[in-house]
Amino acid sequence: MGGFSLWHILIFAIILLLLFGGNRFSAMMGDVAKGLKSFKAGMSDEDEAKREQQRPPEPPRQIPSAQPIDITPQASRTADPVPPPPRDDSAL
């Protein structure tokens, strides 16, 4: 007896629609949707900021020293000497 039935809710919705009109009602719903989207975007921005704070700092990059590069040619190395084949003394 004290609760709202489906008919009560439908009559209430029709009265609200008549008071505010169709265009006004859809504009309000669009504003609500924009508010929800901006809320979600704000929440994701906070999550990204927390992740960046938890990330360990990157070590500083080392800059190569300012020493000149030596490009003088080195003396060519001779190939390692190959030992001579073993002598066969039985042929003598």
Strands (E), the chain: none
CA atoms lying within 13 Å on the CB side of residue 17: 8
pLDDT at 78: 57
pTM, two decimal places: 0.34
pLDDT surpassing 60 at residue 81: yes
Q: In this structure, what token pair is assigned to residue 66?
A: 């300012």
Question: What are 7-35's pLDDT values in tens digits?
Answer: 998 998 888 888 877 777 778 888 999 99
Q: How far is CA 9 from its chain centroid?
A: 47
pLDDT at 36: 92
